[in-house]
Structure 1
Amino acid sequence: MSLFDIEDIKVKPDIVCPYPDPSVPPGAAIVIDNGSYHCRAGWATKSAPLLVFKNVLAKPRKDRSKKDTNNGEGALVPTVQIGNDITNIEAVRFQLRTQFDRNVVTHLHVQEQIFDYLFGRLGIEGDGCVPHPVLLTECVANPNYSRMLMSELMFECYGIPGLVYAVDGLLSYRLNGGQDSGLIVSCGYQATHIIPILNGRMVEGKVRRINLGGFNMINFMFRLLQLKYPVHVNAITLSRAETMIHNYCSFAYDYTESLRNWALLEFYEQNVIKIQLPYNQNVSAPTLTAEQRLEKRKELSRRLAEINLRKREEKLAEDKVLLTRMLAAEDTLEDEDNVGFTLHEFGAKSADEYRKTIVTLRERIAKTTQKMNNSQQAASNSGQVEEKPLPLLQPPGNMTVAEWVVETRKKRDEILDRKQVRKQRKQDLAKRRTAAAQERMRIISHLAKKEKGVDDFGMRDEDWDVYKSISREGDSDSEAENEKLIECEEILKQHDSTFVEPVVAPGNIAEFHQLHIGVERIRVPEILFQPSMVGIQEAGLTGAIDYVLKLFPKEEQIKLVGNVMLSGGCANIRGFKERLSRELQAILPFQSVYNLRVAANPSLDAWKGASQFAASEEFRKSMITRQLYDECGGEYFKEHVASNFYYPTPSQASSTLNDTFN
């Protein structure tokens, strides 16, 4: 069992790089890995990207009540925050915008703002022109229309001299010693691709995609923790869920067996991760001195004595009333017609028993009166005479001490349960969408629908239950209930050696603000192999790989499984290679030979592979120039070993679409 403090992601704003950079040759290519999670950008001649930031922007809404003090021509335009300028992403979570729909760029106005930020941080500010060729990554099987809009943005808006498109998974494969044949498992933020490679090229017709990635894992962890700890719902954020996945989650080698282990208390205590949430430590009261503890004990004794005195007074009043009634009815014992009714009314079987009850009542009244007088005299002399300890409370005559203790503990638990129910109900009514609040509104609306007339609400006893159910205050803790709780605890302290007074230790506050990450450590990554756990009706990673392999003859299957590579951010999760190796062994024929490896840097190798490709001669041959863009259109690009395949949009389909919309 380990305890860790929550680690909030610290982001530093990007600086503006010097331009021109003496270490960068003129005309050097700019490499942009335009991922749906992170955008990585830098010069092709560098070994690492200069910029790495979340590919989102935060655009606050315009406040029309405030005028622009600079020109006074309308509402003040809010500042757009992009990438690492968003230092607290949770504060603007509902204002975030992305250019992606899944992993396809569809919102070019957002993409333009992000490119403005990117080129600005690289130091390129010259008249809106970027005098450098660009290598830009895109998703597998990117639609022609999306590529056309991207090319139009790059050439028309930024005036770049050349553009090359490439697929991130293929670039990572080439960097990690890509062979002529292999199978790429590219696990991204929004989707996972299984890409077969034969003869050095991607077999585009047999690529398969699973609409599940890192985003689904983060969201699943977020929902699980919110459901598990509803009291800390505000402290559980997507950013913190993401950090927990990166630091503590792992793939289970055998998920079913791991679930059995987590069900064992000993295994749970050894492997659970405790996350300490931030909280405000209230200044604790100083430790009580011996004199203060004695005074507190005396005060408790006085309160208990007052409770006993009140109970004696109530019992004395009841006995006096009963004695008065019995004395008044004693004359009827001589009347044979009414004697039966009188005996039945007072629960006596005979006249002798009736008279004996009267004697008992008189003795009890006298005894109680004497006790009360003694208590009052002791209270008046408390200043001169040392206070005597309170005598032990004794059980009723018809119960043993053990039975009395059990009954008292049961009563105490019932009182505490009622208090907790009332407290929870008040919390539920304070929230709009809880079942208690909705039931309250249903009852109120039902009462409002009744026809107007005589208002007789409150005339029936059941109306009080309705009033209590819709009252926001609910049942308050009554004084009698609190006194009964004190009495029960005093009885247990005197007669139950196992009873311990509830004490709120300072450490309990910290424990209350802790999250236990147990089975979630393996449950969250498991959705990659079992998408049905999050309601996605698609095959898992094992089923998708098995499906792709069966599309090839046996000889080519052997080539593919001989070089399986894991890439993408999810490949950083511990245990992924071992789990996938077990799954491959299960789906391949008996004694099949396969080789599984993980990219050297699953998150960064796509950019490094692009940088390596940009330094090659093939990059120059694959470049789309402005002239080619003008001649062939925005959807055209040159194919190369790390690109998609170009399939021009059929002209007949284009004309048909134009006729349809015209």
Structure 2
Amino acid sequence: MLLSEQTATPLPDAPTSEQYLAGAAYRDKAPVVIDNGNSELRAGFASDYDPSSSSSSSSTSLPPLHFPPVVARYKDRKRSANILLVGPYVNMDHESKSKARTPNENGLLVAQDVLENVLDFTFARLGISSGGEEAEGNVEHPVAMTEQLCNPGYCRCLASELLFEAYGVPEVAYGLDSLFAAHANGVGPDGLVISSGQSTTTLVPMVGGRGVLASAKRLNWGGSAAADHLLRLLQLKYPAFPVRLSSQQASTLIETPGLFYAHPGGQDGDYAEHARRLSELKQLQAEGKTIQIPFTVPESRRGKELTDEEKAKREERKRESGRRLQELAQKNRLQKMMEKEEQLRTFAELKEYKNKERNSDWLKRLESAGYPSEEELIKAEKRIQSALKRSRRRDDGAADEGGAEEEAPPTFPLIDVPDHELSEESIKEKRRQRLLKAGYDARMRAKAEKREEKRAAEERRLKDEEERATNLKEWCRARRGEYEETIERIKERKRKRELLADRKSSVAQQRMKSITSLASEGKGGAGGTAGGGESSRGKRKRGAAAAAGGASRGEGGDDDFGADDEDWAIYRDIQGAEDSEDEEEDEQLLVTLEAKLLQYDAAFSRADTLAARLARKRALTRTFLGGTPEGEEDIAAAAAEKRKADRAKRAAQAGVAVTDLADEDDEEGGANGADSLEEKLAKQHQITLNVERARLTEVFFQPSMAGVDQAGLDDIGEMIVRGFEDEELGRRMVGNIFLTGRHTSYSGLPERLRNSLASLMPASWSSSISVRSAKDPRFDAWRGMAKWAREDRKEGWISRAEYDEMGGEYIKEHRFASAGW
């Protein structure tokens, strides 16, 4: 469904002076009927209403003039003149449209000057501006105008003063639009009229054909509040939407027929049950309605088709990027392994000093190295050994598999010979043999560790098989628990990465503290401990020392951090390489556990796996936000997300920025021509309404959902009806409930109101409850007022003499009055 901007109906041509003076409206002094709504003003002569039309919605009964009551000023720079724009003409100038003013605010008249401009335009379009010769400039027709329920006297005084003093009208009458709409639809004599307009919703009981205003109630919920509420819901649902949705677009959505509806309730369950059903994929998919928001394709983003030569070059760049990434990753792994080996040698040297000096001196040495106790030193050593084992297993595992023969142990004859007994060339050879021996010893340790790990893994496998054979049920329970714990660890790492994106989170603040501590150590660190086992206490001490002596590197304590490219290597030190290795182990463990549970646990199926859970969650999320849960576009999106995650993972392992690798892949979808770009932009500018369709109308019955601290329509209606002591009168009123107003045009609203009232009213009244809607909520109020003005010219009309005597706040009571005097 394409969302189009609301366009105002073209106004008819204004009659000429001759046509007006020769017409029956001037000759009979027909009353001017004005339905002064907040969003639309409808005006015409009472004689324009044709009571003999077969339907109230007939075109012969429409008001000749209806337009939004807005006023703006436009400055014509060519003529150096200010032009007043009224109604639909405000849209002619964008700048003027943004500064448009309305006479009413929340249904109350607050700007008399704006109302005067609107009335000038109204009378001019009706042809009244020409006037008669004996009363030039005056409006010689009585004026009937609608106003809000219990309109303040001050607001009525502004309107009366304008009509009597400025326009010289002979008579004025005020009435309530909902009662006039009921009159046009033949509602009465006893009933309950519910009207929901732009600002409020009113409930007015009718007894004997007259509105009982003392029992009337008002709900602070209308079309404008609903549009704002929908706009907030869409902003929460689509926080990164390409364009900003306006209140006018939200109002257009609300007024679109069939888009929103009221959940019927009753036998279908309440709204809460309906919302729970929408958590199912099929129900949510059937509920969705996709709306296309208008957009334009910028010329700068229009691409062109790539030639075969350009595609080949792009593929070559991608392959070259992959090779470069592999080289960087290998180099980075070797560098980290060398750093860990150096740290292990440092730990060994610290341990040797334990037997060579006093315990107090040794503890001071530990503290100066950044370890407050021997336990911290042992813990850091174990952590480095574990990381080193993982690195060796990944690099040397492939070479050890395949049953290769054991290499013969090399000899290093010069290592134990003192330097003073060797020549200069022999000393160089001795250094080379020492490096070779260190590499050989490292390979031997890795192989021994791998043999030990294989032996331990075989023992664990045999023990696991024994437990499974002994007690399968307990084994399945234990493996499921281990499976869920592994999933939680993976989720926790993901949550931590998401929190790092928020600068105000505790995780991000702790990361910045780590960056500060690493930066304060200077280039190279102390003792090679920055990458692994240094305690926070040692970091703080050296950080304070670096801060105290920072003036040696720059003026005013500036340490010139970042001046050297090597300074930025600290970001790789805290990039979480060990967390990445732990995550790989957890993923491998997850695959192993899934395979075992699928093989031996009858209660564990493919639907219980992590991949199936994520697939269901993604499908539900995609359906909620828009689109179908499966299909080519979903597969493409999933593949794009996977490529993005793989690039980030490989870049983290290689210690390079993701942007260094992403450019080549991003080119694939960036130059496929204008058609594909337009399709992509079209999907980005789509919104899907599903849960909002029934939620918006549910506010009528649960106003607290939108932050309105009032009772719902059903509760207010029950309170009004039960306020009348005559039980038979109450039964007649619930049997004649009338809905009017442009904000009541939702499908299912009458049925929902009936079901809700049936649950609140006595059981004997259930069969008597009847709710019906207006035939034309937009124009019925004007038709009812025109019909009343033609029928009754005595009751409710205020003359100029009564205005001079009683004042502008005076109002005469009549059947459709909006207030009492």
Cα distance in 2, alignment partners of residues 243 and 119 from structure 1: 29
The structure-2 alpha-carbon separation of the partners of 1:89 and 1:544, relative to structure 1 and needing over 3 Å to count, comes to farther
Aligned match of 1:212:
221
The structure-2 alpha-carbon separation of the partners of 1:25 and 1:13, relative to structure 1 and needing over 3 Å to count, comes to closer
Aligned 8 A contact 1:11 1:84 in 2:
yes
Secondary structure of the residue aligned to 1:270 is helix
Aligned match of 2:37:
35
Aligned 8 A contact 2:191 2:736 in 1:
yes
AA aligned to 1:268 is L
Secondary structure of the residue aligned to 2:285 is helix
Aligned 8 A contact 1:277 1:515 in 2:
yes
Q: Shift of residue 28 of structure 1?
A: 1.6
AA aligned to 1:37 is S
Aligned 8 A contact 1:176 1:599 in 2:
yes
> Mean Cα displacement is larger for which, 561-570 or 353-362?
353-362
Aligned match of 1:18:
15
Alignment equivalent of 1:242, drawn from 243, 247, 251: 251
Aligned 8 A contact 1:304 1:487 in 2:
no
Aligned match of 1:300:
318
- 1:285 paired with 2:304, answer yes
Q: Shift of residue 608 of structure 1?
A: 0.5
Q: Shift of residue 604 of structure 1?
A: 1.0
Aligned 8 A contact 2:103 2:111 in 1:
yes
The structure-2 alpha-carbon separation of the partners of 1:262 and 1:58, relative to structure 1 and needing over 3 Å to count, comes to farther
Aligned match of 1:577:
750
1:355-384 Cα deviation digits (max 9, x unpaired): 55567999xxxxxxxxxxxxxxxxxxxxxx
5 Å-filtered alignment, 1:193-232, equals 193-232=202-241
5 Å-filtered alignment, 1:544-623, equals 544-553=716-725, 554-592=727-765, 593-616=768-791, 618-623=792-797
5 Å-filtered alignment, 1:51-450, equals 51-59=65-73, 78-87=82-91, 94-126=98-130, 127-232=136-241, 234-247=243-256, 248-254=259-265, 255-281=271-297, 282-286=301-305, 288-289=307-308, 293-305=311-323, 333-334=416-417, 356-357=437-438
- 1:48 paired with 2:59, answer no
1:81-139 Cα deviation digits (max 9, x unpaired): 32211227986565232222322223222211211121122222234311211111112
The structure-2 alpha-carbon separation of the partners of 1:122 and 1:483, relative to structure 1 and needing over 3 Å to count, comes to same
- Which ranges in structure 1 are unaligned for 5 or more consecutive residues? 71-75, 337-350, 363-397, 400-412, 430-435, 441-452, 469-480, 489-498, 648-662
How many matched pairs? 518
- 1:511 paired with 2:688, answer no
Cα distance in 1, alignment partners of residues 142 and 339 from structure 2: 105
Q: Shift of residue 6 of structure 1?
A: 1.6
AA aligned to 2:118 is I
Cα distance in 2, alignment partners of residues 13 and 84 from structure 1: 8
Q: Shift of residue 226 of structure 1?
A: 1.8
Aligned 8 A contact 2:739 2:774 in 1:
yes
AA aligned to 2:214 is G
Cα distance in 2, alignment partners of residues 483 and 551 from structure 1: 70
> Which has a greater percent of helix?
2
AA aligned to 1:155 is F
Aligned match of 2:695:
523
Aligned match of 1:343:
none
Cα distance in 2, alignment partners of residues 229 and 180 from structure 1: 49
Cα distance in 1, alignment partners of residues 335 and 108 from structure 2: 85
Secondary structure of the residue aligned to 2:557 is coil
AA aligned to 2:812 is K
5 Å-filtered alignment, 1:644-659, equals 644-647=818-821
Aligned 8 A contact 2:198 2:222 in 1:
yes
Aligned 8 A contact 1:624 1:637 in 2:
yes
AA aligned to 2:38 is S
Aligned match of 1:642:
816
5 Å-filtered alignment, 1:529-548, equals 529-548=701-720
Secondary structure of the residue aligned to 1:118 is helix
Cα distance in 1, alignment partners of residues 114 and 279 from structure 2: 47
Aligned 8 A contact 1:319 1:361 in 2:
no
Aligned 8 A contact 2:151 2:819 in 1:
no
The structure-2 alpha-carbon separation of the partners of 1:606 and 1:262, relative to structure 1 and needing over 3 Å to count, comes to same
Give the TM-score taking structure 1 as reference length.
0.68
AA aligned to 2:556 is D
Aligned 8 A contact 1:59 1:97 in 2:
no
Q: Shift of residue 579 of structure 1?
A: 1.1
Q: Shift of residue 216 of structure 1?
A: 0.7
Secondary structure of the residue aligned to 1:216 is helix
Taking only aligned residues, the RMSD between alpha carbons, in angstroms, comes to: 4.6
Cα distance in 2, alignment partners of residues 208 and 279 from structure 1: 43
Aligned 8 A contact 1:182 1:196 in 2:
yes
- 1:455 paired with 2:559, answer no
1:298-337 Cα deviation digits (max 9, x unpaired): 4433444455667788999999999xxxx9x98553469x
Aligned 8 A contact 2:67 2:88 in 1:
yes
Cα distance in 2, alignment partners of residues 233 and 52 from structure 1: 35
The structure-2 alpha-carbon separation of the partners of 1:23 and 1:264, relative to structure 1 and needing over 3 Å to count, comes to farther
Cα distance in 1, alignment partners of residues 253 and 556 from structure 2: 58
Q: Shift of residue 238 of structure 1?
A: 0.8
The structure-2 alpha-carbon separation of the partners of 1:13 and 1:310, relative to structure 1 and needing over 3 Å to count, comes to same
Cα distance in 2, alignment partners of residues 149 and 483 from structure 1: 70
The structure-2 alpha-carbon separation of the partners of 1:303 and 1:119, relative to structure 1 and needing over 3 Å to count, comes to same
> Mean Cα displacement is larger for which, 29-38 or 252-261?
252-261
Secondary structure of the residue aligned to 2:83 is coil
Cα distance in 2, alignment partners of residues 149 and 293 from structure 1: 73
AA aligned to 2:806 is C
The structure-2 alpha-carbon separation of the partners of 1:501 and 1:259, relative to structure 1 and needing over 3 Å to count, comes to farther
Cα distance in 2, alignment partners of residues 574 and 180 from structure 1: 26
Aligned 8 A contact 1:128 1:157 in 2:
no
Aligned 8 A contact 2:40 2:68 in 1:
yes
Cα distance in 2, alignment partners of residues 514 and 80 from structure 1: 37
Aligned 8 A contact 2:44 2:65 in 1:
yes
- Which ranges in structure 2 are unaligned for 5 or more consecutive residues? 49-60, 131-135, 266-270, 341-409, 420-431, 444-452, 455-490, 513-550, 572-646, 655-664, 671-675
Q: Shift of residue 41 of structure 1?
A: 0.5
Aligned 8 A contact 2:71 2:87 in 1:
yes
